Structure 1
Amino acid sequence: MGVLQQFETPQVRGGVLVPGLPLLPPGTERHPVPGGGSRTLAIEVGDEITVVNREGLQSCELVFFDPQGRSNSGLLGVQTSHQPEGLRAILNSAEPSARRVRAALEKSGFDLANATCIRLFGPGSRAGDSASFTAEGPGLLIVAAPGGPMAVDAQNPPTDLVAYVKRARPVQRKGGQAPPDPLADPLTDINIQPGQARTYEVKKGQYIQVLDVQGRECSDFQALDLRAVEKGRIADIDPTTTRSLSGSLYPRPGLFAKYYSVDMQPLVEIVQDTCGRHDTFGLACTARYYEDLGYPGHVNCSDNINREFERYGLPPRGGWPAINFFFNTLLDDANAIGMDDPWSRPGDFVLVRALTDLLCVSTACPCDVDPANGWNPTDIQVRVYDQQEDFSRSIGFRMTADAQVEPTKKTAFHDCFAEHTRDFVEYNGYWLPNQFNDHGTIAEYWACREKAAIMDLSPLRKFEVTGPDAEALMQLCVTRNMKKLSVGQVVYTAMCYEHGGMVDDGTVFRLGDDNFRWVGGCGTSGLWLREQAEKHGMDVWVRSSTDQLHNIAVQGPLSRDILREVIWTPENRTTVEELGVFRFTVGRIGDFHGPAVVVSRTGYTGELGFEVFCHPKDAREVFDAVWAAGQPHGLTPFGLAALDMVRIEAGLVFAGFEFTDQTNPFEAGIGFTVPLKSKEDDFIGRKVLEERKAHPTRKLVGLDLVGHQVPSSGDCVRIGRAQVGEITSAVRSPILGKVIALCRMDATHAEEGTQVEVGQLDGLQKRIPATVVRAPHFDPTKERVKGIYA
C-alpha cells in the first residue's frame, strides 16, 4: 500500500488530521477503475501514469491510441503485441463503465479491433503493486481491470485498480480543483465564486445539481414558484411547512424527501445526495449575523439573494430562509445551535428535481469568520439537466472517511422484490425493502414464525481470503478457532481491535484448506483483514467479492421443504435435506444445468433457515424458482422492519446497537464466540478479553417492560436516580405478547429479576418499570434453529 500512500495522504491543517480530504501531489489526478470495468483518460506528452493494484491478483490492460487513432503502446515506452482480450470482453458486456468507454471510442473514431495492449500484474501480484509510465506523446489511454463473473464456489473476483496521472502541464484553476464531469449534458452550467449568488430558471421535471467543488463549502438554495413570481407573489420553500409535512424537527442530518411552499405545494424533491449532512433550514447568512460578531458591512448571502431577486421585482428580506446545503449545524442538550466544518468533500453534490416551474437562487457562502466553510470560502457549481435524463435515487455511501463516494446500489434481487413493494430504504449502500404493500410488517413477521419468508441480504460484505497464510490470518483476526473449522462448515464469530472493541461480527465459510470467505456487516472488516496481513507479512490475499455474490435468505419452519424442491446437488455434496446447522453446500437451481448456488444453513431470525448465494446475473432465475416453489407453502416477502422484530426476540446483535468499537463481545452478549480455553493461539484483543471476562463491567441482558410503550435505542435504564444501563434495541413482541428490550447493563445489576426503570423525556420525569430477564427472550435453547418445533 506504499504507492497509494505516496499519492494520497490526509490533509493536515494546523496539526489537525483531515482524512476526508485526501491530499494529492500538485497536478495529480486520481481515476478509480472498477473491477471488471474500464476507464478512458486523455493524456498529454510528459504526463506520468501510475496504475495501482489495490487488492492484488487483478490483471490490467492498457491500450493507448495516438491522435491519429493508431494503437501505439510505444508512446508509453513499451512495445507489445498482446491483444486486449479482457477489454474487448468488457466493452461487449453490460458493465456500467463500458458504455462510457464505448462512447469515448466512437466519438474519437478509434477502432479497438486492431489495437494491442500492455498487460500488467500477472499471477501472484500483491495488494499495492504498481506500474508507472511516462507518455512520450499525446493520446487516449484506456485502463481496463478485466474479469468475468465469479463462480459461487470460486474465489477470483475482479477487483478495483486506481490510475494516477501527474500532469506535465497542470491547468491552473482558481480555487484549485476543477468541477467533476457533469452527470449528463447540462442545460445550464454556472460557477459561483464565494461571496456571490446566481438566479436561474428551471422547468418542471428538470434536475438541479448543486456541487461543492473544493469541499467544505456551504451553498444556500431557495426555489420560488415561477408562476407566482410572474404575478408578483412570493411562494418559496417554507421551513415550517416542510418540517410539519415531513414530521421531522430542525435541524437534522441529511435532507427531507420533498420541500413545500406555505400553501403546501411541493416545489422540489431530493434525488441524490453524496454528502449526507446538511442544515435543512436556517436562514442564509445575514448582515445582522456579521454585525453582531463585529464585522459590519461583511458580504452575506441574504443581501446577495436580494440583489438577484431585485431583477424580478421581488421585495428584499433581512434574512432569507434556505436549504443550507453542506452546512453542518449541531444542537446541544439545551437545543442551542452550534456549528463545525462541513462534512462535504471535493465533488460532493445534491441533485434535486423541480416539481413545478421554478425561479431558483444558489450562493457560495462568503463566511470566513467561523467554521461554516472550513474557514476558507470556495466555489460552488450549479448545473441544470433536462427532464428526459434518468437519474436513479441515491444516498452517497463511503466505506471509510477517505473512501471514494459510491451511489446507493440496487441489489441483483431488487427488481424481484420491487414487484411487491415500493417501500425501500438505504442500508449499507444498497436499497433494501422495508415492508411489503400487500402484507405489512406484522404479516411478514408471522409468515417467518409460522411458515416461510424470503428476504434480500445482498448488502452483507463478502471477502475472499486465500493463500498459504489464510488460516493464520483468520486465526489472528477472529475470536473463534479456525483450526477446528472443517471444509464445508460455517462459524459465527467476532472480530476485534487490540482494545477488545469489535470491528464487526460475521460468519466464516471454509471452502478449502487455505480458502476462507468472510461474510460480515461492514466493509471495514475486510480492510482490517488486509491491514493485518500486510502488518504481519503474511502470504495471503483479501479481495472483495460483495459485487459477485448476492444472497437471499429463506427463513421459517417450512424453509427446508421449499428449498429441497429447488436445489439440486451432485452426489459428492450434502443435500439441503441433510444440511446441518452452520454448514453449507454447493448446488444448482433445478438440475445439473441450472445456475450455481451456495446454500448455507444460516440466518438472522431465530428460525430454521437458509441463505442462498449466487452471482448477480443469476439472481432473477434463482428468485423465481424459490418463489414458485414457496407459494404452496405460504412463502412471503420479508422486509427490514419485520427482520428487526424477529432478531430482537432471538437476541441477535446488530452493529451500532448491541455493539460498536467501544463494546467487546462479552458486553455485546456474544461471549460464546470467544473460546478462551479451547483456542490456545493468540488473537487480536485476546489479552484484554481475558481481563474483561474475569472482571466484567457491563452485560447484555433482556428486559420485560410494563405496558405497551416501546422505548428507543439509547434510552437510559435507572435504579432510582442512578443510570445503570441503556436500551440497545426494543420491540413489541407479537408472539410473546409484551414489550421486550435488549439492554447493556452494569454488571452489578445484571441478575435476573432485578427491578429497573426505563427513563424517557429527560430520563427522570417518565419511567417505564421493567424486569431483567434472560436473553434471548424467544427460544433461548435454539430448538427452532435446529428445526425442532413443538
Structure 2
Amino acid sequence: METGIMDARNPAAAPSRVTTLVARGGEAAAFDIAAGDRIRIEDLEGRQPGLLFAPEGAFGAGALAQSEDDAAAVEAARAALAARGLDASRLTGFRLFSDETAPGSSVELSAAAAGACALVVAGAAMAPDEQTPPTELRVEIETSGPSRGAAPAPLAAPKLDIRVDAATAQAYRVKAGDYIQIVDVDGRQCSDFLAFDAAALDKGEEFGLDPTVTRTLMATANPAPGLHSKYFDARLNPLVEIVRDTVGRHDAFLLACNSKYYEDLGYPGHDNCTDNFNRALKPYGIAPKAGWPAINFFYNTTVGADDQITMDEPWSRPGDYVLLRALTDLVCASSSCADDVDPANGWQPTDIQIRVYDASENFSRGIAHRMTPDSEPRLTRESGFHPRASAMTRKFVEYRGFWLADCYSDEGPIAEYWACRERAAIMDLSPLRKFEVIGPDAEALMQLAVTRDMKKLAVGQVVYTAMCYPHGGMIDDGTVFRLAPQNFRWICGDDYCGVHLRELAAEHGLKVWVKSSTDQLHNVAVQGPKSREILSQIVETPPHQPSLNELKWFRFTVGKIAGAPVVVSRTGYTGELGYEVWCHPDKATLVWDAIWESGRPHGLKPLGLQALDMVRIEAGLAFAGYEFCDQTDPFEAGIGFAVPAGKTDPYVGAEALKRRREHPSKKLVGLDVSGAEAIGHGDCVHVGRAQIGVVTSATRSPVLGKTIALARLDVAHSEPGTKVEIGKLDGQQKRIAATVVAFPHYDPTKSRVRAEAPASA
C-alpha cells in the first residue's frame, strides 16, 4: 500500500512515496530499498521478535545489532528473496524486538545504500492451549520523490504489461484462460473496461459486455469473486469472471464518460473515455459510439432510496486492483477516466496499469478484507477445514475474510437443519476472531473492556459477554476463556476488538499484550443431541482435565483428537447441546476426519450458513449487524443478561448502560408471523400507520412449522400478546399480521443446551 505525505520541514516539497507492507506471523516479506530511504519497522502487537536481513552496509555501521546465526530464519529470508529472482548470498542479519517488546514499539533506519531486504517474523505454530501466536510486523518505507507512477509488484511474470496514462485508453488482446489485472496505481482513479468476443469480431459481429444481462443472470449489482462472478454479453455467453477484488465498490450500469457529459457541464471538447475508446478500438474494426456502456471499475456510484443516482470519490487505495479471467479469446480496452471536474477520480486523473498473466498461473479467489481503514488488505482465505468442506460443496460465500459454505450439495439446508436438531452437525466457524490477552494486567484490561465480571470467571470457564463503546452502543459480542489467572482468550467476530483492547490498555497504562491468534486457531462446531456421543469416543484428555462427558456448560477442556492437540469448549450457536473444537489449521483435516468417522453412525452432517441462520434465530441468538450494531446497546440486542447490575468495577460504557437500563426505549422481542410469506431483516413493524420497530432477523422455522422473527420494538408495544403488522412494499400498501411473543421461540428454558451426561456415561 502506498500513500503520499508532505515533508513537514519543507511544505512546498513534492510528496514522498510511503510504501507499507506487512510481514505476517511465521512468514517472510521481501522489499527493496534505495539510498536515502527512511524505514520504520513496527511491532504492532508487541512481544514479536523479527529478523531483518539486508546487504552488508545497507544501514550503515552500528545501526543495528547483528544477530547470531539463525539457520531457519536465514533460509526463510533467502527463499523470500529468491522468489523475486534476487541474489541472497550476501545477507547480514539483525535481530529486532524481543519477547518483552511493548505494543507499538518501532525501529527507524536510514538506508545508506540500495539493495533487497527480507524481514522474517519469528515464531512457530501455536498449540490451541498456548498463547504464543506469531503476529505481524509492519514496514513503512519513505522514498524521496513524487508518489505518482509506482505500481505494485506483479502477481506473477506478466505476458503483457501496459501503462494506461491518465485520461487515455488502450486496447489489447487476451487469450482464453489468461488473467487480466487492472491496477489503480495511485488510488481513487476509475478505469472503464470493455471486452469483446474476438472470434465474433473476426466474423464481423460485435458482442461485448452487457451490464443488463450480467445483472439479470448474476442477481447482483456487481459480480464478485465466488459463485456470482461472471460478466456476460447480449447472447448470455460469459466473457470474463472476477477472480480477485481488493475494493468491492464499482459501477456497472452507467456509460463511460462522453462528450455530451462534459458539454452539459460547460466543458466542450474535454477529453473523455468514450472518444478515447473509439480511437483505441478503431484498428479492430469496432464501430464508434457516442457513449460506451462499460464496467467502470473503482467508480463509486450508488442508487438511493429516492431512486437518485449519486457518486463520490472512489474507495480504491494505491495499488488496489481487480483480477479478471478471460473465458474466451477477447479484444479488451481499458481507460484511465479523464474526469477532473467532479469527485469521480478524486479530482485528478492518474494512471492505470494493465497486466496480463498466463492461464497456467493459479491465483486464489478473494475479496480484500481490512481490519481498520488503514490496515493492509487481506484477500479471502480458506480455513484449515476447507479441503474437507470443499469436497462436499461449491456454494461458498465470503464471510469476514474467509470462504464459508452457504449450504452443502448433498441435501441442502433443510436436511442440515434437521441433522442439527435431531442428530448432529459439524460446521466450520474459523472466521471467528481470536485474541490472546496476557500479562500481569490481563484481568484488569478485560474487566475494563467487557460487561461481565471477570473476577468471577474461573480458570477453565467461559462466559458470554458484550464489549461496548462509552455511549453504550456495542462493538461486538463474544466469549472470554480464562486459561490461567492472568491469561484470557477473547473470541468474537470483529477484528477491531483487538485494536480497541490495545488502545484501552495504552490509555490506562496497563502492562498487557493483546495478540491476534485467528490464523493459529481454527475451529469447528459439533452441535446436536448426539454431539456428546460423537466426541466422547475420540477426545482424549489428561487426568487433570475434565473428560468430554464431565465437561459442563460454558467450560472447556484440553486434550487430543487423533493425536492432534485440541481445546474443546461446551459452547455453540444453535440452541442445542454442542461443542466447539479448536486446533491449529495444520491439524484441521485430521480433526475433521476423526469427527466425521465418529459421527457417521450417528447421522452427522455438515452445516452451512443458511441452516445456521435458522437454528440461531429459533434459539434467539444475536448476530452482528442484525440484532446489534454500534447504535444499539445490549438490552436492545436482547442480551441484557450479559450486563450484570452487580458489577461494581468501572468498565467502558457502564454509566451509559446504567442509564439505558433504567430508561429503555427499545426492546428485542419475538414475533409469531401469520402466513408463510417471506419476512426479512430490515422490514418495518407497524401499529396502525406508525412504525414502531424493525425486524432484525426472520426465518421459516421447520420445527415450529411457522414463520418467526426477532424484532426491535418501541417498549410501549413490546408486551407479549401485542398485535403488530409487518409492512411490505412501501410499508403501507401491504401488511402481514404478527404477534409479539417471548423469545427464544425454541427451547426457552434451554434444557437441551444444558443437558448433562447420564450418570452412567
Shorter-chain TM-score range: over 0.9
Task: Give the 3 Å change call, closer, same or farther, for CA 172–342 of structure 1 in structure 2.
Answer: closer
Q: What letter corresponds to residue 136 of structure 2 in structure 1?
A: D
Contact 2:666-2:713 at 8 Å conserved across structures: yes
* Aligned residue among 602, 605, 608 for 2:577: 608
Q: What letter corresponds to residue 342 of structure 2 in structure 1?
A: D
Paired position in structure 1 for 2:590: 621
- What's the secondary structure of 2:379's corresponding residue? coil
Q: Deviations over 1:303-348 (max 9, x none)?
A: 1111112222222111111011111111122312111111111111
CA apart distance, 1:788: 6.6
Structure 2 counterparts to residues 634-645 of structure 1, below 5 A: 634-645=603-614
CA apart distance, 1:430: 0.3
Q: Distance in 2 between matches of 1:367 and 1:138?
A: 38
Paired position in structure 2 for 1:657: 626
CA apart distance, 1:100: 3.6
Q: Distance in 1 between matches of 2:239 and 2:607?
A: 34
Whether 2:19 is the aligned partner of 1:29: answer: yes
Q: What letter corresponds to residue 225 of structure 1 in structure 2?
A: D
Paired position in structure 2 for 1:598: 567
Larger deviation: 77-86 or 527-536?
A: 77-86
CA apart distance, 1:611: 0.3
How many residues are matched? 750
Task: Give the 3 Å change call, closer, same or farther, for CA 89–444 of structure 1 in structure 2.
Answer: farther
CA apart distance, 1:108: 3.8
Structure 2 counterparts to residues 42-191 of structure 1, below 5 A: 42-66=32-56, 75=61, 77-78=63-64, 80=66, 82-88=68-74, 90=76, 100-104=80-84, 107-111=85-89, 117-167=93-143, 170=144, 172=146, 176-191=148-163
Paired position in structure 1 for 2:11: none
Q: Distance in 1 between matches of 2:255 and 2:207?
A: 16
Q: Distance in 1 between matches of 2:425 and 2:44?
A: 38
Q: Deviations over 1:373-410 (max 9, x none)?
A: 12221111111111111011111111122211101000
- What's the secondary structure of 1:563's corresponding residue? helix
Q: CA RMSD in A?
A: 2.2
Q: Distance in 2 between matches of 1:504 and 1:25?
A: 39
Paired position in structure 1 for 2:665: 697
- What's the secondary structure of 1:61's corresponding residue? strand
Contact 1:272-1:350 at 8 Å conserved across structures: yes
Q: Deviations over 1:540-593 (max 9, x none)?
A: 000100000000010000000000101000101000100000000000114xxx
Paired position in structure 2 for 1:771: 739
Contact 1:253-1:277 at 8 Å conserved across structures: no
Q: What letter corresponds to residue 574 of structure 1 in structure 2?
A: P
Structure 2 counterparts to residues 681-760 of structure 1, below 5 A: 681-760=649-728
Q: What letter corresponds to residue 632 of structure 2 in structure 1?
A: T
- What's the secondary structure of 1:500's corresponding residue? coil
Q: Distance in 2 between matches of 1:72 and 1:244?
A: 57
Q: Distance in 1 between matches of 2:223 and 2:403?
A: 21
Q: Distance in 2 between matches of 1:349 and 1:731?
A: 37
Contact 2:687-2:724 at 8 Å conserved across structures: yes
**Long gaps (5+) in structure 1:** 12-23, 92-97
Q: Distance in 2 between matches of 1:179 and 1:545?
A: 32
CA apart distance, 1:141: 2.1
Q: Deviations over 1:412-466 (max 9, x none)?
A: 1100111111111100000001111112000000000000000001000000000
- What's the secondary structure of 2:204's corresponding residue? coil
Q: Distance in 2 between matches of 1:584 and 1:375?
A: 56
Q: What letter corresponds to residue 63 of structure 1 in structure 2?
A: F
Paired position in structure 1 for 2:341: 369
Paired position in structure 1 for 2:10: none
Paired position in structure 2 for 1:192: 164
Whether 2:483 is the aligned partner of 1:514: answer: no
Structure 2 counterparts to residues 343-362 of structure 1, below 5 A: 343-362=315-334
Task: Give the 3 Å change call, closer, same or farther, for CA 253–268 of structure 1 in structure 2.
Answer: closer
Contact 1:273-1:350 at 8 Å conserved across structures: yes
CA apart distance, 1:300: 1.0
Larger deviation: 338-347 or 738-747?
A: 338-347
Q: What letter corresponds to residue 420 of structure 2 in structure 1?
A: C
Q: What letter corresponds to residue 160 of structure 1 in structure 2?
A: E
Task: Give the 3 Å change call, closer, same or farther, for CA 81–714 of structure 1 in structure 2.
Answer: closer
- What's the secondary structure of 1:554's corresponding residue? strand
Task: Give the 3 Å change call, closer, same or farther, for CA 75–38 of structure 1 in structure 2.
Answer: farther
Contact 1:252-1:278 at 8 Å conserved across structures: no
CA apart distance, 1:301: 0.8
Contact 1:86-1:147 at 8 Å conserved across structures: no
Structure 2 counterparts to residues 374-413 of structure 1, below 5 A: 374-413=346-385
CA apart distance, 1:163: 1.9
Q: What letter corresponds to residue 308 of structure 1 in structure 2?
A: A
Q: Distance in 2 between matches of 1:133 and 1:438?
A: 57
Task: Give the 3 Å change call, closer, same or farther, for CA 749–333 of structure 1 in structure 2.
Answer: same
Structure 2 counterparts to residues 195-214 of structure 1, below 5 A: 195-214=167-186
Q: Deviations over 1:169-207 (max 9, x none)?
A: x3546xx25010111111111111222110000011011
Q: Distance in 1 between matches of 2:43 and 2:406?
A: 37
Percent identical:
54
Structure 2 counterparts to residues 669-680 of structure 1, below 5 A: 669-676=638-645, 678-680=646-648
State the TM-score, normalized to the length of structure 2: 0.95
Task: Give the 3 Å change call, closer, same or farther, for CA 72–370 of structure 1 in structure 2.
Answer: closer
- What's the secondary structure of 1:127's corresponding residue? coil
**Long gaps (5+) in structure 2:** 7-13
Task: Give the 3 Å change call, closer, same or farther, for CA 293–659 of structure 1 in structure 2.
Answer: same
Q: Distance in 1 between matches of 2:282 and 2:67?
A: 66
